[in-house]
Structure 1
């Protein structure tokens, strides 16, 4: 600690980004422990907001509600600790510019933040650090949004893993009590500083956005919302291994959006899963593996930033994808004629959420049945997913398209009908999002195009009018995909 800090005159600024909580928060802990006065700021970054395709974006509304809740929680935390203020400074503008200006106006000695691994964020933070350094202000960042990062899990040759299973074994060996230990923020909360006078949270409208159906969806926001979902999931965790693949069941945690925006600590979730996994709970072991996948994709993105626009395996950038505008629109608009695919796409469009099993199904359908470039699907998900995360989204799409690390082999192609029969056997999920098929019997709900005219008439369904005919024949599309990849493989071998 510097002499000025010891004298009680130094202060710091904690820059919150995708970590909208105060509990178990790495940067906030380090700031409060080292400085007698600590300000907290969140910036509605116009560089990010301006790039969004719609002024009705559930993510912006989720963030806005979570920021509002965090401001109140910081004030309550400060009051409990006897601090003079607490609360959150909120700015609306280019983040890099706002941070430097705010740091200078507050007279802070250091800006602290939790580390981000996306190429754009890395470049932004480098720019901020340089500008702060020129102004005589330090910048430091900390690991917080992952459990193990960057070079913490390497092969025996000192190289990053490109296959998940050996990565997970090494990851589990390194995941000890120290990695799962929470940061005791409340112990130092008396150092929270009040925001400048006149601070007020801008409304959604001031930010240039409109309300969505987020409240109608009853998606809880903020730290309390995350804990509410976690407490709901804990009694269901034991069944997670089997229940997670069925979109019609409440089998998953629904915490992905909270992990994305950091309203819950990854250490809290992993510690809970690890404790139950150690007692032999298979559901907890599987859930812990999903958290390992998350770290794996962050590691891949950090070591291989080119995957944002290129295939992880460069040879697959030579795949000749189809330019099929009508098929592309049918996929985007949930009218492919394959009920599980259409139900999944409607779930995404209506709620901003899609079940993980269905993400694989629709990604496989776009790339392997329709022959369309995975990058287009990845960008579509980026526009619509509440929990959109570049690392996981990119990794998942490249897995489905067989272009990534540890990818689904190109000759294994999901059949959208058998996937439907297996994971939505009674059509419960399909009927929820494709109500025009409500009267179709269970045995035909997965592929109404196979029904006879008499069967169609019996349930009052007119194919091509009430519900579309299939846009492709799966068997024929599968053969085209096999030829597409086989030709590329043969060419590479030659």
Structure 2
């Protein structure tokens, strides 16, 4: 058993998780305020009942840890890497150094929350102080409750409550220098094998993980993309989205910093207030998802509205495979899925289109789509991923109604009218005139011939007829409606 007495000269452990930054880091600030030597540590724990990160997330984690290690080294500290059970590794570090306190920013996903609470309880029983902070969200889950004392299930009241009650913390840059900590051996990050090999599929990943990359992305967005955000965020060919989501997920930037940067741009008159407000609403939606998951732990696995678990999903392996590979025959869907595979990211509007296609055109369980996104997105986030898939499926909190079924042709024509996005990701259609690019099967034979398109050969025919699929989806909805009526009768 590890037992330590409180010692004013003993080092303290700064346990990094998804807060891979030095600025605006409350756990770091509080650890530094003790005046004791700080031992920065990251534990790679894959067996704690917490959902294992997907391949694209591991790619990002590799680069982000390297960036954090470099930042710490520049301030005189060494990032200690330990792989294995988190509690075991923390206890080893305590035994090796005499540390008697641990500072951490909390994880609010239910499994991680429970694991951390159990670790803290056992360590405190052995005389180790454990102090946790909110370093990832605008508001701590549990701090915003409705008039009945329960969690909000509708976004607009949640947003109003957060705007009214949440207070931004003061900006901090972190300590200029660390010092005095004993040298402790750690793992070599290369040995963790987070970067893909055999093959390395990340050649198209054009990202700069790490705190500096997050700050640069925020600056670029505020000065370039924010001014046309409200409309531009729906245009996949435009560079109007923030590209901040992976930086936020890994805690390379505090969400309050993004909020304040947008608000300051509006106050300075460089962007219209409504553009800043729209972006801030998206930051709040991220919080809304996190709060929902914290209060409703089954969100990733079960329909939030339980009657939707009666949906008669289809087993369609051929359809699912075509969807994952971007070979459905619907260009806007295929472009999105190819963008995802090539870059680890997909445009927000297109995410809704491809999700609707899987759920409603193919009638495949949303959980399969969520799992694919989890593995392939660099910004895969358990709360946001689950909530957004359930939003499209109609089964989530404050969700889009299931009968809202996106037409992939008209969605493409509306939001990618010149087909620039489609042609970027589907080079087979690059020479096809834009008027036909979202429905190539409707193009005259001579147009297809002159464009070098051979349906069924160079580019697939649609794997499903959208009109018929829509009817099938609405018929499936009746199963849910019947389940709801039966529940009401009971």
Q: Where do 1:375-390 residues align within 5 Å?
A: 375-390=367-382
1:243 counterpart residue number: 232
Q: Name the CA distance, whole Å, in 2 between partners of 1:29 and 1:10.
A: 17
Deviations 1:204-262 (A, max 9, x none): 56568538455653311211111221221111212111111111110011111111111
The answer to whether structure 1 residue 87 and structure 2 residue 78 are counterparts is yes
1:225 counterpart residue number: 213
2:111 counterpart residue number: 120
Give the alignment partner of residue 457 of structure 1, picking from 449, 455, 472. Answer: 449
Please give the secondary structure, in 1, of the residue aligned with 2:63.
helix
- Residues 380, 476 of structure 1: alpha-carbon distance in 2 compared, 3 angstrom cutoff: same
- Residues 224, 491 of structure 1: alpha-carbon distance in 2 compared, 3 angstrom cutoff: closer
Q: Where do 1:266-281 residues align within 5 Å?
A: 266-277=255-266, 280-281=272-273
The answer to whether structure 1 residue 28 and structure 2 residue 21 are counterparts is no
Q: Name the CA distance, whole Å, in 1 between partners of 2:431 and 2:117.
A: 58
1:255 counterpart residue number: 244
- Residues 290, 131 of structure 1: alpha-carbon distance in 2 compared, 3 angstrom cutoff: same
Q: Where do 1:374-413 residues align within 5 Å?
A: 374-413=366-405
Q: Name the CA distance, whole Å, in 1 between partners of 2:29 and 2:240.
A: 34
Q: Name the CA distance, whole Å, in 2 between partners of 1:461 and 1:354.
A: 25
Structure 1: give runs of 5+ residues left out of the alignment: 79-85
The answer to whether structure 1 residue 139 and structure 2 residue 126 are counterparts is no
Deviations 1:82-137 (A, max 9, x none): xxxx2211112222321222123221111111111112212321232233234321
Q: Decide whether the 8 Å contact of 1:58 with 1:212 is kept in 2.
A: no
Please give the secondary structure, in 1, of the residue aligned with 2:136.
coil
Worse-matched range after superposition: 142-151 or 68-77: 68-77
2:183 counterpart residue number: 196
Worse-matched range after superposition: 206-215 or 22-31: 206-215
Structure 2: give runs of 5+ residues left out of the alignment: none
How far off is 1:402 after superposition?
0.4
Q: Name the CA distance, whole Å, in 2 between partners of 1:235 and 1:416.
A: 32
Taking structure 2 as the reference length, the TM-score comes to 0.91
Q: Decide whether the 8 Å contact of 1:180 with 1:270 is kept in 2.
A: no
How far off is 1:460 after superposition?
2.0
Q: Decide whether the 8 Å contact of 1:246 with 1:357 is kept in 2.
A: yes
Q: CA RMSD in A?
A: 2.3
Q: Decide whether the 8 Å contact of 2:196 with 2:202 is kept in 1.
A: no
How far off is 1:197 after superposition?
4.9
- Residues 491, 230 of structure 1: alpha-carbon distance in 2 compared, 3 angstrom cutoff: closer
Please give the secondary structure, in 2, of the residue aligned with 1:245.
coil
The answer to whether structure 1 residue 480 and structure 2 residue 480 are counterparts is no
The answer to whether structure 1 residue 63 and structure 2 residue 61 are counterparts is yes
Q: Decide whether the 8 Å contact of 1:16 with 1:42 is kept in 2.
A: yes
Taking structure 1 as the reference length, the TM-score comes to 0.91
Deviations 1:444-488 (A, max 9, x none): 000111123233222221101111110111111111111111232
Q: Name the CA distance, whole Å, in 2 between partners of 1:25 and 1:53.
A: 23
Q: Decide whether the 8 Å contact of 1:20 with 1:223 is kept in 2.
A: yes
Q: Decide whether the 8 Å contact of 1:240 with 1:283 is kept in 2.
A: yes
Please give the secondary structure, in 2, of the residue aligned with 1:14.
strand
Q: Decide whether the 8 Å contact of 1:29 with 1:185 is kept in 2.
A: yes
Q: Decide whether the 8 Å contact of 2:97 with 2:182 is kept in 1.
A: no
How far off is 1:340 after superposition?
0.4
1:83 counterpart residue number: none
2:18 counterpart residue number: 18
2:413 counterpart residue number: 421
Q: Name the CA distance, whole Å, in 1 between partners of 2:280 and 2:405.
A: 27
The answer to whether structure 1 residue 77 and structure 2 residue 65 are counterparts is no
